[in-house]
Structure 1
Amino acid sequence: MNQKKLFETTRNATDQSLKFTNSIIEKSKKLRTPSPKVDKIGTTVGSCIGAGLLLSGVIAIFTFRQFWAIGLLIVGTVTLVSNYIYRRRLTK
């Protein structure tokens, strides 16, 4: 009889723990997904930063800082492309 009671108590504790874990997982899914307004603002800011990096790269080419220019152009391009892909994925 004692073993049966111990088994039931352990099972109830495990079930409660599992329910709590599942509720926390569901809440975290909601927190990880920003609203469409926040997504739009974030991609706009990211695109502006990418354009600024590209512009800085072009200016660096004309000031004969080739190493910095290549880096800025690559980073700016990657930023713009990733923001474009993310925004296209949101609209689909």
Structure 2
Amino acid sequence: MPSDAFNQAAESVQSLTVKPTDDELLSLYGLFKQATVGDNTTPKPSVFDLKGKYKWNAWDKLKGKSQEDAEKEYIELAESLVAKYSN
């Protein structure tokens, strides 16, 4: 179950007024999925589904990382993005 700090970090990222880079968004996505679901056991998307493939790879490369560690890294990344992109 995600912590309050994790939920607050997820909410803060949703309210950014400037969109983070694609790489930053993929890192957030991968860490979010690893923290909330655990290791990626879903089949790899079709070669024609580029967006799905990038998201799948971002999550899959975190295989083996504990959900607790992924949650901590997600919070750190979210806080750095809020600091970077807030006016």
- Give the alignment's TM-score, normalised by structure 2: 0.39
> Larger C-alpha radius of gyration, 1 or 2?
1
Say which structure, 1 or 2, has more relative contact order (CA 8 Å, 6+ apart): 2
- Give the alignment's TM-score, normalised by structure 1: 0.37
